Amino acid sequence: MSIESVLHHLNCSKTVAFNRLAKTVFTHIPEPITINIRKYSDEFLCPNLLRGMDYLRFPQLNKGLAFTMAERQTLGIQGLLASAVQSQEEQLAICTYSLSRFKNNLNKHLYLSELLDTNERLFYELLGSNIPKYLPLVYTPTVGLACQRFGLVYKKPKGIFISIHDKGRIYKILRNWPIPHVRAICVTDGERILGLGDLGAYGMGIPIGKLCLYTALAGVPPSMCLPVTLDVGTNNQSLLEDPLYIGIREKRVQGCEYDDFIEEFMEACCEKYSHNVLIQFEDFALPNAVRLLDKYKTRYCTFNDDIQGTAGVIVAGMLTAARITKKKLGENIYLFLGAGSAGVGIANLICDAMAQEGVSEKEAVEKIYLFDIDGLLSTKRPGGIPKHATKYGKDLEPTKDFGAFVKTCKATAIIGVSTVGGAFTPAILKQMAENCERPQIYALSNPTIKAECTAQEAYDNTEGRCIYASGSPFPPVKYNGKEYHTGQGNNSYIFPGVSLGVLACYAHHIPDTMFLTAARCLAKNVTQKDLDMGRIYPSLSDIPILSCKIAVDVMEEAYKNNLASVYPKPKDLNKYIADYIYKTKYDDVRPDFYDYPESRGVQVKTVEEMVKQFKSKNK
Ligand SMILES: NC(=O)C1=CN([C@@H]2O[C@H](COP(=O)(O)OP(=O)(O)OC[C@H]3O[C@@H](n4cnc5c(N)ncnc54)[C@H](O)[C@@H]3O)[C@@H](O)[C@H]2O)C=CC1
Ligand SMILES: CC(=O)C(=O)O
Ligand SMILES: [Mg+2]
């Protein structure tokens, strides 16, 4: 279809046409788009040319049985649907019930994935209806399993795979994505998927899951998001031999070839989607993660979630813990198990937060100890200290005995980012309880099996005195006849809000300070009720509201530091964000074109009523 025929059909100018089309199909574009229409001529969907069936085929448009009779007649889909007309609430009740019938979480994940392929708004409506219940099904821990089984899970394209053999053609491949106005890309090369190691192209589940959270937790319109997997091979032998493996069956490419490939990818993204397209790096392995962030953070609108997002959420937890312990950040001793992307990212942001308390960098660094697979980061150890963590090297004798060191350094906070499930043994936890009145225990490795200790273990071994957070959710803890609901120290509290703010004001860079801003905003929103329940984070259900607050603070910072590109600055940022975000409720199809009387006449039932009705019918 040529652009000329589209314009002829619409009888209007190119820019007006595009804005009208884009606004109709992707109804959630808040700002006018000024684009080079030629660039998009071969790649956008024109609603006026859509055939009726397309309204059922495209998940962005589909409402299933919720199309009213008037809409069905208007769109020419009468008869393609059964006669019943359902409300979105009724559909939600059916989905809630259907999902509850699956016993296995991977099957639930698959059900949700299919719903996303069928009816996007219903999918997000369902997710939003109970975030604590559904988040673990689209995110950690289930997403880890889905990645491991991605060969079975993979059905329809939800993102783009770019392989090392596509070098020289990345721009062309990006053009194959059917939606033109992508604003946020989440990219992985699959080398460090959660704590599960190198999953190669199976890692695609992660960018898909993270971008789902952009929408579910921050209202970023899904059409703006593009998941990408860079398939540079895998060093995971079992995948290379797995008949179901969907990636290239070669060892990982490294060195200059890898770097050139990433460079071409970054350039192609900007050429295709404008220079401030946001690129979130996710689950890259250690040397690449740190190196690429350093290389690109001042050249592109980019951040590394494992380094910076994680730092934001953990510093927020520590700021909240300070309200319980009555100790400033600078009055603690921090001991890390794991000195990789997450560990050093957190340590660096703790230093930045301490600097705001007036602690010098030297003093801050003195309060932070890190262990990696080779033991304490000691200047005396053979093999030295990895470059990204040099400043944390201590002039102490090398040791690999983390447990003994908990006592030696008198740690008041231990942070597990090691991928070693169960590494915080009962002895270590007991020692923490001796070190201070309210020890902080962060068992952050994902998925659940990789957590350094469970919530229950932490309580049981610290006489219930610990302040605990984990990367994946744990069931409530029972201790001394009381129930505690511990918090999830997961970057999902931070990256959706930061990205929303960055996207909304078209910020062209994302400095580290934005993550401290987000951390402070998150910490400020923890209530006494949260603390009484045993958690240092707000409820997961509050994340959508928190993300909007974080976004507003991020935007304020962007304007203050001349990083924003939307001018004049909106007068009311809260309203601007509220208008910006994706709406999961169905809207009427082309109500301004057609004025059919409503023919539904269906009594709307509540979700509870529907579930009850279904249960009684299916006994
Ligand atoms: N809760 C959250 O929001 C987040 C959690 N994570 C989790 O943290 C873990 C680590 O992630 P990254 O830092 O990105 O990985 P990474 O690969 O960059 O770092 C892992 C670190 O653990 C160390 N390590 C490995 N085995 C060890 C052992 N037996 N003893 C001591 N240290 C050991 C490594 O030497 C390395 O320093 C993963 O499980 C990941 O899922 C990561 C980002 C966010
Ligand atoms: C949460 C996250 O980003 C990770 O475990 O890698
Ligand atoms: Mg990650």
The pLDDT value given to residue 587: 87
The pLDDT value given to residue 103: 94
Characterize 138-147 residue by residue with b for buried, 16 or more Cβ atoms within 10 angstroms of its Cβ, and e for exposed. bbbbbbbbbb
Instruction: Judge if the beta carbon of residue 431 lies within 6 A of ligand 2.
Output: no
SS3 41: coil
The pLDDT value given to residue 39: 32
The pLDDT value given to residue 614: 59
The pLDDT value given to residue 595: 35
Please, are residues 526 and 293 in contact by the beta-carbon 8 Å criterion? no
Instruction: Judge if the beta carbon of residue 306 lies within 6 A of ligand 2.
Output: yes
Measured from the alpha carbon of residue 451, the closest ligand is: 1
Give the span between the Cα atoms of 408 and 398, in whole angstroms.
Answer: 13
Instruction: Judge if the beta carbon of residue 305 lies within 6 A of ligand 2.
Output: yes
- Active-site residues, by number, are 139, 210
Give the span between the Cα atoms of 415 and 489, in whole angstroms.
Answer: 11
* Closest by Cα among 363, 395, 402 to 378: 395
- Compute, in angstroms, the gap from residue 489 CA to the centroid of ligand 1: 14
Give the span between the Cα atoms of 107 and 152, in whole angstroms.
Answer: 11
Phi, psi dihedrals of residue 388, rounded to the nearest 5°: -70, -15
Give the span between the Cα atoms of 535 and 321, in whole angstroms.
Answer: 9
The pLDDT value given to residue 153: 84
The pLDDT value given to residue 54: 87
Q: What is the DSSP string of 243-256?
A: TT--S--SPPP-HH
User: What residue's CA is closest to ligand 2, atom 5?
Assistant: 194
User: Looking at ligand 1, which atom is closest to the CA of residue 194?
Assistant: 41
The pTM for the full model equals 0.89
User: What residue's CA is closest to ligand 2, atom 4?
Assistant: 194
Biggest alpha carbon–alpha carbon distance for the chain: 81
User: What residue's CA is closest to ligand 2, atom 6?
Assistant: 194
The pLDDT value given to residue 403: 98
ipTM of this complex:
0.99
Instruction: Judge if the beta carbon of residue 283 lies within 6 A of ligand 2.
Output: yes
C-alpha distances in Å from residue 572, one per residue of 569, 577, 579, 582 = 9, 9, 11, 18
Measured from the alpha carbon of residue 195, the closest ligand is: 1
Which residue among 206, 293, 373 is best mutated to probe the pocket of ligand 1, counting the most ligand atoms within 8 A of its Cβ? 373
User: Looking at ligand 2, which atom is closest to the CA of residue 447?
Assistant: 5
Which residue among 188, 448, 491, 493 is best mutated to probe the pocket of ligand 2, counting the most ligand atoms within 8 A of its Cβ? 491
Ligand 1, CB cutoff 6 Å, lining residues:
192, 194-195, 285-286, 306, 310, 313, 337-343, 371-373, 417-420, 444-446, 450, 471, 489-491
User: Looking at ligand 2, which atom is closest to the CA of residue 140?
Assistant: 1
Return left, alpha or beta for 506; rule: phi > 0 is left, psi -120 to 50 is alpha, else beta. Answer: left
Measured from the alpha carbon of residue 446, the closest ligand is: 1
- Compute, in angstroms, the gap from residue 146 CA to the centroid of ligand 2: 14
Instruction: Judge if the beta carbon of residue 125 lies within 6 A of ligand 2.
Output: no
Measured from the alpha carbon of residue 491, the closest ligand is: 1
Mean pLDDT by 10 residues, the chain (619 residues): 40 42 39 32 49 88 95 92 97 97 96 97 98 97 97 90 98 93 97 98 98 98 97 98 96 98 98 93 97 97 98 98 97 98 98 97 98 97 95 97 98 98 98 98 98 98 98 97 97 98 97 98 98 97 98 98 96 96 87 35 50 62
The pLDDT value given to residue 96: 98
